[in-house]
Structure 1
Amino acid sequence: MKVDVLILIEFVNRELEVAVAIKHSLKTKGIKVKIISTLYDYSKAMLFYSPKILIVPYLYDDNNLKKFSMVKKSNTEELIIINMHQEQMVTKSNVEFVLPKGLAKNVLHISWGDTFTQHLIENSVDNNLIYQTGSPRIDFYREGMTHFSINKEKLSSEFKLNSEKKWILFAGNFPHENFTEDVITTLEKKGNKGIRKRIENALETRGILISWFEKLVENNPDIEFIYRPHPSENLTEELLKITKYYRNFHVIKKYVLRDWVINCDVINVWTSTSVVEGYFANKKVNVVRPIEIPSDFEMELFRGVNYINTYKEFEKHNIQGSLSNDLGLVEKINDHYSKVTNFSFEAISDLVIEGLKNNIKYDYKINQFYASFVDRFRLLIRFFVERIIKLVSGQSVIKLSKLFNPNSRYRRYFNILENGDDKVTKGRISDIENKFK
């Protein structure tokens, strides 16, 4: 099927709204756009769509480039690839992993701000291929876009929260125990050094934080404490136990993070870009560190900012603390996230239009990657096998993996299944598109 633009997304909660915003902007200009999940419909996307421009969530190396270039039907097609770089926060230990390698450097790159742009340039990416648009996720915190978020009354009603109480949010970021040995080894080979120590640090931190959560809700019954886990995070027995004993402690995965950030009074993070969303929502944000993160694993965003290191500080800053944010943190956020006049998704749409007009510099040599007959035949077999499994069992391959092989390579996605398939459906897209009208 011929389309002008094919947008591939990995996680619905993180990426679908932005993808639909780009689609809507382009659709008003007569450009045909399709959005597809890399998790569930990769083979379908590669076999049955022929885009002029392909937008991808990541593109780390030649292997990724080969994977996504399967969408080409011949080596004469001139495909333009735009890398959204959904992960732009780097540490000393993962910078080699996050930045593109090989021919993956030669596609078009979306950067949220000065810091990541500089990293790309230092990594020998041509400055002409870098488009600093700001973060399109932040668009939904700006004036004119707030109607995309759920209001406090709906959240109160659905989750039995008292809207008169102070709402305190902790944005969890602890998916680490879902990393299987083969995943860890692969990450190490790709340049994510020290990942094992990083996992140890995360799990020790989580244990201490859970004890702090319990103490906080016990000492302060007049608050509503919402723990919003990372989409692929396991919910531990210790965490769930608090919900049984304290009615003011809630573990809630449902809805995008923004819906909770906008409606809570204080935002807490360990190490997560959620702190940025809190800042742009004009909320008090706390960076909570019961134990130190080794320097090599620290995000640049958090270097040199003030941390909460003790329970006493944690309670003070959440219950009676100042509503002003740490100036060092504010400065870091402004370095990483450009302040743009127009919506970032519009800037990306403009780039797509220029690409369709052949008005941008692009190295078509990367189009040496394309699917051979054997590659396409294997992909076709994969497509039919997945469809047969779905038809016979009523389950996706990922769901069956959770049932019969819990340690499979899909393990990091299993927890997402609890809130549905994380599939890109026409209904989900329509619901978001209707909000633009």
Structure 2
Amino acid sequence: MIDFLLLYENKSREMEGLCLLKMELEKRGYYVVLDQVQYFYKKRYKVKVVVVPFLYNNNDIYRYIYCICGKVNKILNLRWEQIYSRKMEENLASFFYPKGEAKKVIQLCWGEAEADKLLKLGVRKELIFITGPIHLDLITKPGYFEKREYLQKKYRLAENKKWILFISSFSNATFTEKEKIEAMKMLGKERVDFIDLSIKSKKEILEWFKQIIKEKNDQYEIIYRPHPSEKKDDILRNLEAKNKGFHIITDDSVGQWIACSDFVLNWYSTSAIQSQLLKKGNAILRPIPISYEMDLEIFSDATVIDSYKGLVEYLSSKADALMDNFVFNKYYFFDSTYAYQRIANICQEVLNNNALSKIRYNTILHETSWFERLKFEILYKLYVPLLRFLKNKKLSTLFSGSVSYDMVSRNTVAESELSSIKKRLSKILGKGE
């Protein structure tokens, strides 16, 4: 039987942190398996403890616990989304906070702010652990990132030009009307308004980049880093095809790109913390203002660029745009030990704890309609394997959302890739922790 099953959603965001955790647990003598949470099509695992990337409600427990490994009660929720708009933070009934039986699992928090909100929500104190962000464990450790030459050769970027990294948060900008309706059901009308704002902002920012390439192509390479859930649309494809200095790159971690880029530009991404830790300038592009309620508190002291002229001036002056550490300290906990080590300790405690609350699986199964069960079986156990086998992008039109050939291939990890990550991490950790 497997001791720990580690499930991930987005490869680029989560893989290195989970590899650290996997290596640490294996070093302690445990049998650990790593797999993708949504594109699941294998037989059920027999497992003692499950570590999940998210768990919001009973439906998630059915899909990502019960359908994968049966009635497991020992569950750790890594909660990869922990920074929200001010309005979402105040609304504990919003989609992003656990509900129903999902409140009974172990909740891992990056900092005190999130732990306090879970307590207010009614999650028992003994289920809440402040671990710090696992994805930031080694970010400031010498030798963690490859040198700039590695990226330059891999992606054929001009070494003599300055690199502009844009970290996109436009995961919703390609939503269909049907997807907008679904988003409104889950998150309210404000979310649809935000989607419309995303579409307009993306369009304007891309116009700025076109202008930069047109006027200063000999000076800059623009790297467009999509959100892990962002679909590549025709606008992006055409821009990349027609402009030699514009690159859409999903591979390698966002931290790797931040470390090697000359300029880091943002719109709404929590990757601002990486820029802070790596002491890089981090400006936010806001062609259209975002209301105070819908903005993130971590951008309270950010440098805002609201025009093409402002962008050109920023690139010319390279003004330092680091933000106040006080804001980040509310959301991120750092200590002398690493988050992956603290999480491994919690994993061990959970493995040996037989007093955890029992999840009411009979209630969950009763709530899950036959249609939901059939849809899940078709979508994840038949359709995803078919996409992988046929490698047919046209099949992606059958279902919307994250299940497309691009997304499935982007989030599939080959054994060779996994071995390469673990080898690099072992080498870094071998230099002394």
Q: TM class by shorter-chain length?
A: 0.7 to 0.9
Q: Please tell me whether residue 408 in structure 1 is matched to residue 402 in structure 2.
A: no
CA distance in structure 2 between the partners assigned to 1:12 and 1:389 by the alignment: 16
Indicate the residue corresponding to 2:331 in structure 1.
Answer: 336
Going from structure 1 to structure 2, the CA distance change for 1:291 and 1:102 (only over 3 Å counts) comes to same
What are the ranges of 5 or more consecutive residues in structure 2 without an aligned counterpart? 428-433
Indicate the residue corresponding to 1:9 in structure 2.
Answer: 8
**How much has 1:5 moved relative to structure 2?**
0.7
Indicate the residue corresponding to 1:349 in structure 2.
Answer: 344
Going from structure 1 to structure 2, the CA distance change for 1:74 and 1:192 (only over 3 Å counts) comes to same
CA contact (8 A) 1:134 1:339 kept: yes
Equivalence map 1:320-399=2 (5 Å)? 320-327=317-324, 330-358=325-353, 362-366=356-360, 382=377, 386=381, 390=385, 395-396=387-388
CA distance in structure 2 between the partners assigned to 1:158 and 1:74 by the alignment: 42
- Of 389, 405, 423, the match for 1:434: 423
CA distance in structure 2 between the partners assigned to 1:397 and 1:311 by the alignment: 45
Shifted more, 95-104 versus 381-390: the winner is 381-390
Indicate the residue corresponding to 1:37 in structure 2.
Answer: 36
CA distance in structure 1 between the partners assigned to 2:381 and 2:233 by the alignment: 32
Letter in 2 for 1:256: S
**How much has 1:207 moved relative to structure 2?**
1.3
Letter in 2 for 1:357: N
Going from structure 1 to structure 2, the CA distance change for 1:178 and 1:413 (only over 3 Å counts) comes to farther
**How much has 1:302 moved relative to structure 2?**
2.3
**How much has 1:120 moved relative to structure 2?**
1.4
Indicate the residue corresponding to 1:137 in structure 2.
Answer: 135
What are the ranges of 5 or more consecutive residues in structure 1 without an aligned counterpart? none
- Of 117, 122, 133, the match for 1:119: 117
Going from structure 1 to structure 2, the CA distance change for 1:229 and 1:191 (only over 3 Å counts) comes to closer
**How much has 1:110 moved relative to structure 2?**
1.0
Indicate the residue corresponding to 1:179 in structure 2.
Answer: 175
What's the secondary structure of 2:14's corresponding residue?
helix
What's the secondary structure of 1:272's corresponding residue?
coil
Indicate the residue corresponding to 1:318 in structure 2.
Answer: 315
Indicate the residue corresponding to 1:275 in structure 2.
Answer: 272
How many pairs does the alignment contain? 416
Indicate the residue corresponding to 2:64 in structure 1.
Answer: 68
Letter in 2 for 1:166: K
What's the secondary structure of 1:5's corresponding residue?
strand
Q: Please tell me whether residue 98 in structure 1 is matched to residue 96 in structure 2.
A: yes
Going from structure 1 to structure 2, the CA distance change for 1:223 and 1:38 (only over 3 Å counts) comes to same
What's the secondary structure of 1:103's corresponding residue?
helix
Going from structure 1 to structure 2, the CA distance change for 1:304 and 1:278 (only over 3 Å counts) comes to closer
**How much has 1:335 moved relative to structure 2?**
1.8
Letter in 1 for 2:331: H
CA distance in structure 2 between the partners assigned to 1:365 and 1:186 by the alignment: 27
- Of 227, 230, 235, the match for 2:227: 230
CA contact (8 A) 1:110 1:131 kept: yes
Letter in 1 for 2:77: N
**How much has 1:181 moved relative to structure 2?**
4.0
Letter in 2 for 1:422: N
**How much has 1:270 moved relative to structure 2?**
0.4
CA contact (8 A) 1:93 1:297 kept: yes
* Identical-pair percentage: 25
CA distance in structure 2 between the partners assigned to 1:388 and 1:179 by the alignment: 21
CA distance in structure 1 between the partners assigned to 2:105 and 2:398 by the alignment: 34
CA distance in structure 1 between the partners assigned to 2:261 and 2:19 by the alignment: 26
What's the secondary structure of 1:82's corresponding residue?
strand
**How much has 1:258 moved relative to structure 2?**
1.9
What's the secondary structure of 1:318's corresponding residue?
helix
Letter in 1 for 2:388: S
CA contact (8 A) 1:58 1:84 kept: yes
CA distance in structure 2 between the partners assigned to 1:244 and 1:409 by the alignment: 25
CA distance in structure 1 between the partners assigned to 2:186 and 2:286 by the alignment: 28
Going from structure 1 to structure 2, the CA distance change for 1:294 and 1:413 (only over 3 Å counts) comes to farther
1:53-102 per-residue CA deviation (whole Å, 9 max, x = no partner) reads 11111111111123334168776xx6211111111111255451111112
CA distance in structure 2 between the partners assigned to 1:232 and 1:262 by the alignment: 22
TM (norm. structure 2) is: 0.85
CA contact (8 A) 1:7 1:54 kept: yes
Letter in 1 for 2:81: E
- Of 89, 93, 96, the match for 2:83: 89
Shifted more, 94-103 versus 267-276: the winner is 94-103
**How much has 1:176 moved relative to structure 2?**
1.4
**How much has 1:370 moved relative to structure 2?**
7.7
CA distance in structure 2 between the partners assigned to 1:388 and 1:242 by the alignment: 31
Going from structure 1 to structure 2, the CA distance change for 1:73 and 1:294 (only over 3 Å counts) comes to closer
What's the secondary structure of 2:187's corresponding residue?
coil
Indicate the residue corresponding to 2:431 in structure 1.
Answer: none
CA distance in structure 1 between the partners assigned to 2:189 and 2:116 by the alignment: 21
CA distance in structure 2 between the partners assigned to 1:320 and 1:185 by the alignment: 43
TM (norm. structure 1) is: 0.84
Letter in 2 for 1:409: S
1:313-358 per-residue CA deviation (whole Å, 9 max, x = no partner) reads 222222213235133xx33222211122211111111100111222
Going from structure 1 to structure 2, the CA distance change for 1:122 and 1:193 (only over 3 Å counts) comes to farther
- Of 405, 411, 422, the match for 1:422: 411
Q: Please tell me whether residue 295 in structure 1 is matched to residue 289 in structure 2.
A: no
CA contact (8 A) 1:398 1:414 kept: no
What's the secondary structure of 1:267's corresponding residue?
strand
Shifted more, 116-125 versus 55-64: the winner is 116-125
Going from structure 1 to structure 2, the CA distance change for 1:334 and 1:425 (only over 3 Å counts) comes to same
CA contact (8 A) 1:25 1:349 kept: yes
CA contact (8 A) 1:23 1:33 kept: yes
CA contact (8 A) 2:12 2:253 kept: yes
